[in-house]
Amino acid sequence: MKGSALESRGYAVKSKGLNLIVLAGLASVALFLGIVMSAQNIMEYRKKKNWISDKLADSAKIEEIAESTSKIDAALARLEADYGKETEGLPEIAADAAVAAEVSFGERDPALKDWHIQKANVVIENSPAAAVARFIAESEKQRPPWRVSACELRALEGMPGAVRATISMKALRK
């Protein structure tokens, strides 16, 4: 028996031509799959590139915030070192300045960590203007200082140099 089983049944097999057709078909399928995979990889690359760019931008922002936070922590440490101890209160300062002051403390607005902004209203009756000025100057020498946010002076009739002072103040307190 010469040939193969196909030849014995009357089929003429051209093995070289069939192999070339099969190979060309396989090459075409491989080329098509390669093009599809390349297009898919390009689209995936673009997505990942944008995602990585976003993450790099986020990372830069986080580093900026961390640097800012470390600066704030350093400033807070200096604040603690310079101003952490309790200072004289407004009533004591008024007594030292020889003014009769009525001090009322108002709101305490939160500031940093354990610190807040203390508001106070001071009413000084029948005192010399120089004594009121001395009170304000001594208040502002405190560490942290009391700052005048509003001040009203009214001259008293028949009493030269005497005033009625209404002073609103703020200070950073622990």
Encode pLDDT of 108-129 as tens digits: 888 877 788 889 999 998 888 8
Positive or negative CA dihedral for 162, 140, 150, 122? negative
Contact 139, 173 (CB under 8 A): no
Quick one: pLDDT at residue 11? 54
Domain ranges of the chain: 15-83, 90-173
What mean pLDDT value characterizes the chain?
Answer: 83
**37 HSE (CA, 13 A, CB side):** 6
More confident residue, 88 or 55: 55
Q: Specify the pTM.
A: 0.55
pLDDT tens across 77-100, in order? 877 776 666 666 888 888 887 788
90-173 placed in CATH 3.30.460.10: no
163: β partners: 127, 155
